[in-house]
Structure 1
Amino acid sequence: MTNVDELSDRYAPEAETPLIDTFVAALNAGDLDRLAGCFAEGAIVNDAGREIRGRKAIAAWAEREFLAHGGHITPTRMHPVSALGGDIVVEADLSGTLRHGPTTLVVTLTEGAIALLRLRA
């Protein structure tokens, strides 16, 4: 897997990059326990307006909406929304039978975990 640090025009803070790398690796490997561990206890995934809340529901969503359709994500660029911190934008290519093509993930982190993940087509 390509480390998203190598793809960035501007680096995210060092503490945040490994978490996003771990999230992507867990998703691609189908490791739902490790994937769930990337999220805060009350985390939310917003997928095209649908909200999925909590680690268990997020793991079930990833399995149903991504893994069951042969999904794979390849980050192409990562950058913070601002130099002052806040959200991190991950541009990526998706492959799979349900979803494919370019996508953007907006990741909000809190205390070393993903608090909010918004998917944009």
Structure 2
Amino acid sequence: MTSELPAAVQQLIAATNSGDVEGFLGSFSDDGVVDDWGREFRGREAIREWSDREYIGKQITLDLTSSAVAGDSATVTTIVGGNGYNGPSTFIFDVSGARVSRMTIRE
């Protein structure tokens, strides 16, 4: 994992790859948002429900191919694996303090 990524992003990616839903949810601020191709899930309960259906529940893995950090934003290019979508994807993480405030998923 790239050491320049904010700790909250590193934690979120590690939790994703290990299937740790509590660690994944703990990476987000209380009012965090997942934007999955324009569909927004706000707050930990909504994120958990989305994750159970489409993310951790699908045993998603993220194999990082590149990353860039600019201010409080990190962009990570990955190859997604698991039992759902498989292929390249870009994740944009907005970080506020020690937590991810927004995770945006794009192609």
Please give the TM-score of this superposition, normalised by the length of structure 2.
0.89
Larger C-alpha radius of gyration, 1 or 2? Answer: 1
Asked if residue 55 in structure 1 is aligned to residue 44 in structure 2, the reply is yes
- RMSD, aligned CA: 1.5
Please give the residue correspondences for 1:91-106 in structure 2 after superposition, counting only pairs within 5 Å: 91-106=77-92
Partners of 1:51 and 1:24 lie apart in 2 by 19
Which protein has the bigger strand share?
Answer: 2
Please give the residue correspondences for 1:1-121 in structure 2 after superposition, counting only pairs within 5 Å: 3-5=1-3, 11-12=4-5, 16=6, 18-80=7-69, 82=70, 85-121=71-107
SS at match of 1:4: coil
Please give the TM-score of this superposition, normalised by the length of structure 1.
0.80
Partner deviation per Cα, 1:11-61 (whole Å, 9 max, x = no partner): 45xxx1x22121111112221111111000001110011000111221221
Of the structure 1 ranges 105-114 and 52-61, higher mean CA displacement relative to structure 2 is found in 52-61
* 4+ runs deviating over 6 angstroms: none
Unaligned runs of 5+ in 1: 6-10
Percent identity among equivalent residues? 26
Task: Please say if residues 77 and 89 of structure 2, whose CA atoms lie closer than 8 Å, have aligned partners that are also in contact.
Answer: yes
